[in-house]
Amino acid sequence: MPKLRFDRRYAALAVAVALTELAIACFVRDDFVRPYVGDTLAVILLYAAVLAVLDRPRARVALFALAVACAIELGQALRLWARLGLEDNTVARVVLGTFYDPRDLLAYAAALPVIALYERLNHTPAASPAHNARTTRARCR
């Protein structure tokens, strides 16, 4: 079972990304930043939010965030929001989206190297308690 915790660094990252997403949604009207950078940031937001409250391996969380984004995109391709009767639910339409674009999958995948770069620049491998436990066991052998 995942251990609950509060990590200020990831919480701050999640808040910063959420505010950036909000600014993009409110003020950017273009064909690149809003659709693709916004999608990339959505994966990073989910990644940071999960790690802000759960002690899990970072690589697994990154793959989980990517999988969630891809699942939502698949739901768009299948018009899941309409099948669930959510045509008039503005919140559901914003969260789930209504338009499938296979290029969004590339934008989601682009989050992984961004996450890896963030981790390389901001954290040592020892920053993770799970990593510490594995390293300690490996040294004891």
Break the chain into its structural domains and give their ranges.
3-140
Residue keyed to tokens 């899990």: 56
DSSP-assigned letter for residue 126: G
Amino acid symbol at 11? A
Amino acid symbol at 47? Y
Global confidence as pTM: 0.83
Amino acid symbol at 133? A
Q: Where are the alpha helices (DSSP H) in the chain?
A: 8-27, 38-53, 58-77, 80-83, 90-96, 102-109, 111-122, 129-140
How confident is the model over 89-129, as pLDDT tens digits? 988 888 888 889 999 999 999 999 999 999 999 875 544 55
Name residues of the chain where pLDDT drops below 50: 126-127
- pLDDT at 128 (0 to 100): 54
- pLDDT at 138 (0 to 100): 52
17 within 8 A of 43, measured Cβ to Cβ: no
